């Protein structure tokens, strides 16, 4: 499958690299084509990796991943172009973190709204699925770094799109039973807010490889 | 030990009842002494259960539990009286939920502040420990309702107070290894925000008996 991965940070590089290693074609998008980090990633990833602008990557992808910093995601997606996102699954991995007050960060949007919802409203023809925003990049593509069974969330308006993301998550190594569908994209309020707790687990656990397992009685 | 439990809702009744059954002396506090629900609880709990005003309960308790609705917790604690909370462990079980926008609720305070912090600021001489706010009342006192190992959080400024809460949690049935200390009372921002995700688990799991296990790699 063809993927457009927006964002050249650790999350974009890690997800993009894993997708290439799985045999997918991936274009990494940056603010401008020829981005140095993206070019380095292309070399390292090999295979069918390529790079370009946000619009290049979005146009290339049958599925698009938003792996930009949350504070600039709406700008990045505007630059990607609504026409390049139309009818596509748009996996939103970002968190609206605000580092201006120091660590741990607070959120730039939350409580009665979320980044996932903002993105869906800004791109009503894209099929936004919030996913993977609750775990560190290395765990996203190698769930076994956290021992035993643990949970990854999906949320979005379109059941078909969520089905595709479910399949992709399984390809990344997530057992089907560990994928929890929280319903509509408004559930992003919950998963994004949770990130402010999860970041505190890093300090308590002494590792970024920390996740939760949801257990019901 | 003598406990003052502030709040006559399900959480206060459940925690108070369990404490009585464990042989503790418990006074349930309400806005006014003679509250009908509190009187009913006293009859049902038997043992050394009694009821009174918020101030009566706080004065009685060597340890005080805030089990009032988050939106009225600051008022309830003001009514309890700073002098009745001084030097005592004050376990804050409340969540600042705002139901005005429907279900699931949003928060009345969050992101860069929390109810736990507000309470500690309002009562600087109390030793506030945020705990038990991330699980349903019936699970607080019977962790086995959720199968296997799962996590309860504590947060607060005073290590001695956290040690006392740790011991109390073990008395309630929580194994020591499942009690995770998140650090200062500011971590209440994380556990209170998480509640907006946890409430979505109820619908996804079809039960209130749902909790998370924090797993580190």
Whether A102 has its CB under 8 Å from any CB of chain B: the answer is no
Q: Is residue A21 part of a domain?
A: yes
* A·B CB contacts under 8 A: 131
Q: Which residue of A has its CA nearest to B102?
A: A112
Query: What digits encode the pLDDT tens for the residues B110-152?
Result: 999 999 999 999 999 999 999 999 999 999 999 999 999 999 9
pLDDT, tens digit (0-9, with 9 covering 90-100), for B51-78: 999 999 999 999 999 999 999 999 999 9
Which structural domain range is residue B81 located in?
A: 2-205
Q: Report yes or no on B165 lying in a domain.
A: yes
pLDDT tens string A106-120: 999 999 999 999 999
Torsion sign, CA atoms B138, B144, B150, B155: positive
What pLDDT sits at residue B195? 98
Contact status, residue A157 vs residue A120, Cβ threshold 8 Å: yes
Which residues on adjacent β-strands are paired with residue A107? Answer: A97
When pLDDT is averaged across residues B8-29 and rounded to a whole number, the result is: 98
Specify the pLDDT at position A71: 96
Total domains, chain A: 1
Please report whether residue A74 resides in a domain. Answer: yes
In a domain, A217, yes or no: no
CB pair distance less than 8 Å for A193 and B110? yes
pLDDT at residue B200, as a whole number: 96
pLDDT score at B134: 98
Burial A91-106 (b: 16+ CB within 10 A, else e): bbbbbbbeeeeeebbb
Interval B157-204: pLDDT, tens:
999 999 999 999 999 999 999 999 999 999 999 999 999 999 999 988
- Here the CATH number for the domain that contains residue A77 is 3.40.50.720
CB contact under 8 A, A193 and B191: no
Closest CA to B199 of B135, B116, B131: B135
C-alpha distances (whole Å) from A165 to each of A137, A152, A162, B155 are: 17, 11, 5, 36
Q: Is residue B51 part of a domain?
A: yes
Residue A24 counted as domain residue: yes
pLDDT of A135: 98
Residue A60 lies in a domain: yes
**pLDDT score at A192:** 98
Q: Is residue B184 part of a domain?
A: yes
């Amino acid at each position: 499958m063809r993927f457009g991965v927006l964002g050249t940070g650790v999350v974009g590089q890690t997800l993009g690299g894993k997708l290439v290693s799985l045999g997918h074609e991936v274009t990494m998008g940056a603010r401008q084509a020829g981005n140095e980090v993206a070019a380095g990633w292309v070399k390292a990833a090999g295979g069918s990796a390529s790079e370009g602008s946000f619009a290049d990557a979005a146009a290339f992808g049958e599925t698009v991943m938003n792996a930009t910093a949350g504070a600039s995601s709406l700008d990045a997606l505007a630059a990607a172009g609504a026409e390049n996102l139309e009818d596509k699954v748009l996996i939103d991995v970002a968190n609206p973190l605000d580092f201006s007050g120091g660590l741990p960060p607070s959120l730039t949007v939350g409580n009665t709204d979320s980044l996932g919802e903002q993105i869906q409203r800004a791109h009503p023809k894209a099929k936004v699925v919030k996913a993977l925003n609750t775990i560190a990049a290395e765990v996203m593509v190698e769930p076994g770094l956290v021992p035993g069974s643990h949970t990854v969330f999906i949320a979005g308006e379109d059941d078909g799109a969520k089905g595709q993301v479910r399949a992709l998550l399984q390809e990344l190594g997530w057992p089907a039973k560990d994928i929890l569908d929280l319903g509509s994209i408004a559930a992003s309020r919950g998963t994004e807010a949770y990130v402010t707790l999860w970041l505190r687990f890093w300090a308590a656990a002494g590792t970024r490889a920390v996740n939760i397992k949801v257990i019901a009685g």
